Amino acid sequence: MAAQKDWNHTWYTENPDLTQCFQNTVLVWLPCLYLWICSPIYLIYLRSHDCGYICMSHLNKAKTAVGFLLWIICWSDVFYYFWERSHGSSVSAPVHIVSPTLLGLTMLLATLFIQYERMKGAQSSGVLLIYWLLALLCATITFRSKILLALDQQLTVCVWRYTTFYIYYSLLLVALFLSCLTDQPPLFSKTVKDPNPCPEPGASFLSRITFWWITRMIVTGYKRPLEEKDLWTLNPGDRSQRVVPQLVRRWNTECHKVKRIKQETSYFPGQVPRSEGKEGKEGRAMEESEILIVKNTQKTREPSLFWALCLTFGPYFLISCLYKLIQDMLMFVGPEILRLLIRFINNSGAPSWHGYFYTALLFICTCVQSLLLHKYFHVCFVSGMRLRTAIIGAVYRKALVISSAARRTSTVGEIVNLMSVDAQRFMELVTYINMIWSAPLQVVLALYFLWQNLGPSVLAGVAVMVLMVPVNAVIAMKTKTYQVAQMKNKDSRIKLMNEMLNGIKVLKLYAWELAFKDKVSQIREIELQVLKKAAYLGAISTFTWVCAPFLVALSTFTVYVLIDERNILDAQKAFVSLALFNILRFPLNMLPMVISSMVQASVSMKRLRVFLSHEELQEDGVEHKAVAGSRHSISITDGVFSWCKTESPTLKRLNVCIPEGSLVAVVGHVGSGKSSLLSALLGEMDKLEGTVAIKGLVAYVPQQAWIQNATLRDNIVFGQEWREAWYQGVVEACALQPDLEMLPAGDETEIGEKGVNLSGGQKQRVSLARAVYCDRAVYLLDDPLSAVDAHVGKHIFDQVIGQQGLLKDKTRVLVTHGLSYLPQVDLILVMVEGEVTEMGSYQQLMATEGAFSEFVRTYAAVDHTHNNESPELENGCATALVGSSPDVTSVSKQSQGDKEVSKKAKNPEVGKLTEADKASTGRVNLSVFWAYLKAIGVLLSCISLLLFFAHHSASLFSNYWLSLWTDDPVVNGTQPYRQMRLGVYGALGLSQGVAVFGYSLSVSIGGILASRCLHQSMLYDVLRSPMSFFERTPSGNLVNRFAKEMDTIDSVIPSIIKMFMGSMFSVLAACVVILIATPLVAIIIPVFGLLYFFVQVS
């Protein structure tokens, strides 16, 4: 009875107030309980996230002082209680000592947390901010109550407690304000030295939950287009240096685990079962041994990339699950508040403050829901970004260490697609992956509240949803099939495009552009046929998505009104149910999409797993520490090597020891294994038997020069420390000085991709200069002199490779066909069919009359002819060394004499060749939209717009029809026109589904038409471009256009168009309804519309 009286005093009154008992207990204990529950978890968090030590600042001193004052205030109330007991006649309630004591201990805990946060480097505290906010809200209720009590009953006021409470309330305001500020960075923090740090880690808790910390960049972007220098430094946890090794480590752990399981299940020690006859004899011979048991029927377990991803990114991603769970719960608070609001409107005797209370509650709930939702998306986006970065890094790393045998099965197009398309699919999936559990939760909660509202009639809606499950399952399976086929076609197309771009010079030389254009178009047509089938499937899927919530609502309303004539569909039941059905619409729409995305991601995951599972180069193929004390620089003992473990060995019975600092020549006929020997020394081949040991670091000059798209100087220095004198010496020795004089910007001239603006000899000399400049202990030279003129080759041999060259103290292994160099080498290795048949000096081998003598006789005539050639041209270009005199040394001296002339100042801008791949900034021109519209077709675009309009008109009219239905008068406990109302409502829903099917199909087909048109146009324009275009445009940019950008046009843009048109018509429909209901809103809508447009355009 007393509780009912207190509730009536609190709720059913025009001036509500809580009882003193409730204020002194619950409102005091609630914030304390929150902090004491959070303190163990927060303490563990601070101990595990030690960011350094923050020096005592004015802010920290103020926080500590306020906390200490609050502690004194609380204990003053405790002392006042004992003073009151000793001097007063009446005894105060125990709550007057229990609550201040608990509050004082809590304030002490908060003050200690302030100092502990400083010691652990926490610049802002969300836990304490929420505590101060909660304490202030509870104290505000008491504050209002004390003012009302003081006005009504002045004689009962306790001056001491009122005074301490007002001081306590003022200090809470100060504490809350101070908690909104952030402290200085920790001592020795990296952000102090960072010129442009990201403000997120140092932002206050309030700034982080409202994303206020990003305002500065938004303002900068509003003033001018953002540039790379405007971007903040990445947070440590977001950098590829951290996320890529984490994923690679987890993946390697999975691979090792699977290998260990295979070894444990494949080898069984013990006796072999004896059998009769010959087999029994063989079995007895293998007793007490370990044998390999191969079980072909047993499915081999593969390493789980999914588990590796979960272990790497799962802990951080779980935070989004918590945000999503709370947001889902708050989502159903809105319909319940709407029910109470409708009940308030229908109850004319309810206090007016109830309406304000429900409205404020709805607003606060929506705000909190929005904050949680955006924090959820922020965590998902960051997780997706880290996941994409890690996958790209892992694929790139794998592409560098993949074995030669595995490289045959992995094309460049496949690797490009793995890093662009497949990695992007994971990033997109992470944003909505939580819907896989959130959608069923939302459906269950919606059905529960619908049951409370409409009773057992909701079972009809459940039946409709159950019937939709097999439809979605079939669609998902077919989507997976189409996805696999599409990715195979895309890989083939990108592979062909990459080959075409790499050989574009040959294509243009033979005028093969149109022939290869037709080959690419054929693959593209097959790809578009798959896309068209997927579009039909997508239209059916969209039809089921849109119709499913409406069919659930229609079936529920139908059963509800027909099961009993006395079931009245009033405003409360209809619109609360409609709000729940609208909530139901999102999970029912998103769940099939997420399932489809998961299917696509599973295809991508399988592709990634297969690629990452490929065999890598042997880590122990070459030993670098084993010969640290040996006098041999290179040693091969009983070496057997192969390009593939399943093939016969390419190199056999190799036993080679090369002394340190010697010059070794490797000779032999074409295909004898000379380049393979160098590959074996580099660890590029599979070592089947033997050992390989190299002392020191290795520099390698390949037979085909590899040139970066950078300046000539950058190609030579290659990231090494700049040494001016050594650089000039290398350039002189490699006969590059005259070339620098001819280049427009000297060594600052930009070299095109793969050295398109250099001759073959120039590229080979730049490659050799790069190896010489890096100054390594061992040099492996794969016929570097074959691409240069004979006189230039003699100069390079004398000045670089020979006994008086720059590398005279290094170990040099030279593969060559030049007979003139052989007498000057220390050791000659003669290779025949993968074996070293002869080894020795030039004189020793000539005396033996073996394979070396035959090799010399074979190449003598060729070498003689080559020496008699004109030295004026080198690979069709002017040679670096020109002159009538065959004395190369004199030419070199002459170039040294002109050294000052070569150092004349040149403008680096003249040497620019390639153009940076710049994205357009600012507003998108209308011509771009018009070009895409024309690619779709004007007629099809108009039909799509008409179907969009029809769908949203039918949706708007169905809601209006439902409102008319709820306004029907009740005659004898029933509504007379319910069957007519139900029939029209169902017809409107069916028309919505037909319109949705139509616009989904038209937009998808239009997207395919646009994709075909744009691809053909881009392919034609690229192939018909002059060679100068390919010289200044890296092929990677062009491959990206045909891979990533075309995938965006194929899949992303049609979906974005559907979402944009749907959102636009929904907003317009909502504005129309609001204007009809409340015409005064016409003053506000244009203002907000212009503001929104201004923000979006800016």
* pLDDT tens column, 521-560: 999 999 999 988 888 888 887 777 777 777 877 888 888 8
- Range of weakest confidence among 29-33, 202-206, 372-376: 202-206
Domain 662-669+697-821+842-907 belongs in CATH node 3.40.50.300: yes
Q: How far apart are CA 860 and CA 689, in angstroms?
A: 36
pLDDT digit string, tens, across residues 82-122? 877 777 655 567 888 888 899 999 999 999 999 898 888 88
pLDDT over 70 (residue 878): no
DSSP annotation of 692: E
By C-alpha distance, which of 66, 31, 28 is closest to 142? 28
The predicted pLDDT at position 372 comes to: 92
Per the model's pLDDT, the better-predicted residue between 80 and 876 turns out to be 80
Pairing of strands 289-292, 698-701: unpaired
The predicted pLDDT at position 992 comes to: 85
Amino acid at 383: S
Is residue 57 helix, strand or coil? coil
Per the model's pLDDT, the better-predicted residue between 1066 and 566 turns out to be 1066
Amino acid at 9: H
Q: With the CA atoms of 680, 685, 689 and 690 taken in that order, what torsion angle do they form, in degrees rounded to the nearest 10?
A: 20
pLDDT band at 917 (very low <50, low <70, confident <90, very high): low
pLDDT over 50 (residue 882): no
- pTM of the predicted model as reported, rounded to 2 decimal places: 0.74
DSSP annotation of 616: B
The predicted pLDDT at position 392 comes to: 93
Residues 6+ apart with CB under 8 A from 958: 985, 988, 989, 992
Q: How far apart are CA 679 and CA 979, in angstroms?
A: 84
The torsion angles phi and psi of 287, rounded to 5 degrees, stand at -65, 155
The predicted pLDDT at position 192 comes to: 62
pLDDT digit string, tens, across residues 772-788? 999 898 999 998 888 78
pLDDT over 80 (residue 914): no
Average pLDDT estimate for 136-159:
81
Average pLDDT estimate for 433-440:
90
Alpha-helical (H) ranges within 402-434 are: 404-407, 412-417, 423-432
Q: What are 991's two structure tokens?
A: 């028309």
pLDDT over 80 (residue 912): no
Q: What are 1089's two structure tokens?
A: 């519309």
By C-alpha distance, which of 817, 780, 786 is closest to 801? 780
Average pLDDT estimate for 475-496:
84
Residue carrying structure tokens 């001018």: 224
Average pLDDT estimate for 507-530:
90
What topology is assigned to 402-615+925-1097 in CATH?
ABC transporter transmembrane region fold (1.20.1560)
The predicted pLDDT at position 395 comes to: 92
Is residue 637 helix, strand or coil? strand
Q: Which of 4-18, 609-623, 867-881 has the highest mean pLDDT?
A: 609-623
The predicted pLDDT at position 863 comes to: 54
pLDDT band at 877 (very low <50, low <70, confident <90, very high): very low
The predicted pLDDT at position 126 comes to: 87
The torsion angles phi and psi of 778, rounded to 5 degrees, stand at -125, 135
Q: How far apart are CA 388 and CA 244, in angstroms?
A: 10
Q: How far apart are CA 446 and CA 553, in angstroms?
A: 12
The torsion angles phi and psi of 347, rounded to 5 degrees, stand at -100, 100
Q: With the CA atoms of 797, 801, 803 and 807 taken in that order, what torsion angle do they form, in degrees rounded to the nearest 10?
A: 150
The predicted pLDDT at position 519 comes to: 92
Q: How far apart are CA 845 and CA 716, in angstroms?
A: 37
Average pLDDT estimate for 644-654:
84
Pairing of strands 632-642, 651-659: antiparallel
DSSP annotation of 456: G
Q: What are 518's two structure tokens?
A: 């037709």
pLDDT band at 247 (very low <50, low <70, confident <90, very high): very high
Residues 6+ apart with CB under 8 A from 485: 530
The predicted pLDDT at position 556 comes to: 83
pLDDT band at 183 (very low <50, low <70, confident <90, very high): confident
The predicted pLDDT at position 184 comes to: 83
Per the model's pLDDT, the better-predicted residue between 180 and 964 turns out to be 180
Q: What value does the mean pLDDT of the chain take?
A: 81
Per the model's pLDDT, the better-predicted residue between 463 and 768 turns out to be 768
pLDDT band at 892 (very low <50, low <70, confident <90, very high): very low
pLDDT digit string, tens, across residues 266-303? 544 444 444 444 444 444 444 444 444 444 444 567 88
By C-alpha distance, which of 222, 229, 232 is closest to 194? 232
Query: For residue 886, how far is the Cα from the chain centroid?
Result: 60
The predicted pLDDT at position 256 comes to: 86
The predicted pLDDT at position 90 comes to: 59
Q: Quick check: 343 and 572 in contact, CB under 8 A?
A: yes
pLDDT digit string, tens, across residues 956-1008? 888 788 777 777 777 766 767 777 888 888 888 888 888 888 888 888 888 88
pLDDT over 80 (residue 856): no
Q: In what side-by-side order are the strands of the sheet with 663-668?
A: 698-701, 778-782, 811-815, 663-668, 827-832, 835-840
Amino acid at 517: K
Average pLDDT estimate for 303-307:
89
The predicted pLDDT at position 771 comes to: 92
